[in-house]
Structure 1
């Protein structure tokens, strides 16, 4: 009978060569490493709020502000992160912080 056929038997073997300038896949090119800037405080806070928007355990986030969603989750005993409330309280007038990711999309 012989050897059992594998799916990979029907595809040719392709050898990959090294990328440009001799760096491997997992490394950044030296010219790109210089261009990476550390995140400023606003970007870190906005990322925290985006993660809060994507966390389904605090309920839906469309049609209400992030602060309203935070209060609703707290009233329901869902224990939303206190850091989110602190960020929202410090940026009360800024729509970038108050409205969720989905604010600009029609319902």
Structure 2
């Protein structure tokens, strides 16, 4: 008397894959999506707003962002260098120069 063993191959068909010939060439990496100028500007302004809202660097009313950064540096508060770089690159634009609270009267 023979008994059937319940092997998985009894229920499913065995499929053998054909061997591939040779090595495939690696595809060049896809280029990173370029950010448009408006997106970059919005991200920069968001960083500056976060700098304005961070009270570790002192009050920001009545002075420019660069003056506030320099004051914080002078007092050893370690403000972010990227904020200074951003402010020096865009020193002519009032949206970058003036703080978030500049439109409100003192």
Instruction: Note whether the superposition's TM-score is higher than 0.5.
Output: yes
Structure number with greater Rg is: 2
Unaligned runs of 5+ in 1: 1-37
Q: TM-score, normalised by structure 1?
A: 0.63
Q: TM-score, normalised by structure 2?
A: 0.64
* CA distance in structure 1 between the partners assigned to 2:42 and 2:91 by the alignment: 16
* CA distance in structure 1 between the partners assigned to 2:70 and 2:57 by the alignment: 10
Partner of 1:95: 94
Partner of 2:68: 69
Tell me the matched-pair count. Answer: 70
Give the 3-state SS of the residue equivalent to 2:59 in structure 1.
coil
RMSD: 1.2
* CA distance in structure 2 between the partners assigned to 1:53 and 1:85 by the alignment: 13
Map Cα deviations across residues 59-90 of structure 1 (whole Å, 9 max, x no partner). 00000000000000000000000010011011
Partner of 2:82: 83
* 2:47 is the alignment partner of 1:48: yes
Map Cα deviations across residues 83-106 of structure 1 (whole Å, 9 max, x no partner). 100110110100000000000000
- Relative to its length, the structure with more helix (as a share) is 1
Partner of 1:28: none
Unaligned runs of 5+ in 2: 1-35
